[in-house]
Structure 1
Amino acid sequence: MVTESLRATLAPADQLLTHVESLRADADLMDGYARRLLATAAGLGGCPAAPDGSRPALERQATACTAAARHLRTAAETLLAHARAGD
């Protein structure tokens, strides 16, 4: 069996910084989605025609969006630290 060693290729710092900015922008979007979901859930509170479970489902989705935003920001900070370490 022939094995080939793979070399890790490092992305240039400017490319990593672009990814950091993209991750942060995506996190901001996820926070925005969470706010919109919570606003919709609040609006359904006074709507008797809203299906049962709508509000809790929207609130769970908002919580998931908030968690995703937090994870994206953590990934951005980790990538930024990696980019700085390579300088």
Structure 2
Amino acid sequence: MSGNEDRVAVAAADVWPEDAEADETAVVVNWFAREGRQVDEGETVCEIQIEKVSIDVPAPTDGELVEIERGEDDELSREDTLGWLAPD
């Protein structure tokens, strides 16, 4: 892989509720996929929790999960990237 241009972000903003407060943070509850695993578009790759609401985070495309940026129990904001996929 030649760099970031070959990767697709698994972004918190894609699933962040519109009614969530701007300063709210979330926590990564669980990763269902591990680095190096092939995933299908729409497949749940991880779960985050905002307040008391759990949200499944789907893969934005088919590909290999090449990097996890936020591990389990890590806090994150709406702007954060959870991980990166190398699309098929």
Scaled by the length of structure 2, the TM-score of the pair is 0.21
Between 1 and 2, higher relative CO (CA 8 Å, sep ≥ 6) is seen in 1
Which one has a bigger Cα radius of gyration? 1
